[in-house]
Amino acid sequence: MVFSTTTQYALKILAYLNEHKEGLCSAKTLSEELDIPYKYLTKIMTKFTKNEMIESVQGRYGGFKLIDSKIITIYDILKLCDGDSAKDCIIGKIECNERKRCHYHDAWQKPRESIKKDFLDADLKGCISKES
C-alpha cells in the first residue's frame, strides 16, 4: 500500500467538499456518497475540524465545509492522517545521510522528487476531477 485507508478516505472527503463549496455537507451525506463508514468518517471529520483544515457547523442543518482562505496540500492531509510520515525520504527506516546512500537511492530519486513536487505540494483545490 502507498497511502493508508484513512488517508484515502481523507482525500476523497476533501475532494468532495471542494466540489461542493456552496453550503454544508453533512457526515451522513459524505458517508453515503463516498461509501465511508459513518462513524469512522465522523471521527476523521472532527480531527480535521480541530486542526482547522475545515469548518464545522454544529446542530441541526449543520455540516462541514472547506475554509475558503485556507490552502491545503496533500502533504497536509498525509501529515494529519498517517502521522509524521512522508518526510524527505519516503522509503524511510533505511539509514542514510549525505555520505552514505542506501541501495535504492538513485532509483528512488526521480519518483521521490516527482511525488514531492507534483503531488504532495499540490494544493487540494488545484486538483480538478474530470468526467468525460
Partner DNA sequence: TCTAATTACTACTAAAAAGTAGTATTTGAA
Partner DNA sequence: TTCAAATACTACTTTTTAGTAGTAATTAGA
Is 23 among the residues that bind DNA (CB under 7 A)? no
- The CA dihedral of 31, 122, 70, 125, to the nearest 10 degrees, is -60
C-alpha dist (Å) from residue 94 to 36, 54, 79, 102, 127: 34, 35, 20, 7, 32
Q: Which of residues 45-84 bind a copy of itself (CB under 8 A)?
A: 74, 82
Residue in the structure block whose three cell numbers are 456552496: 22
For residue 128, the minimal CB distance to a copy of itself (Å) is 7
Is 80 among the residues that bind DNA (CB under 7 A)? no
Stretch that binds ligand SF4, among 1-9, 30-38, 49-57, 88-96 (CB under 6 A): 88-96
Q: Which of residues 7-36 bind ligand SF4 (CB under 6 A)?
A: none
Stretch that binds DNA, among 50-58, 101-109, 114-122, 123-131 (CB under 7 A): 50-58
In contact, 27 and 63? CB cutoff 8 Å:
yes
By C-alpha distance, which of 80, 116, 91 is closest to 6?
80
Radius of gyration for the chain, computed over Cα atoms and rounded to the nearest angstrom:
17
In contact, 7 and 82? CB cutoff 8 Å:
yes
Is 11 among the residues that bind a copy of itself (CB under 8 A)? yes
- Residues at the site binding DNA, with contacts judged by CB under 7 A: 1, 4-6, 9, 26-28, 37, 39-40, 42-43, 45-46, 49-50, 56-64, 82-83
- Residues at the site binding ligand SF4, with contacts judged by CB under 6 A: 89, 91, 94, 96, 101-102, 104-105, 108
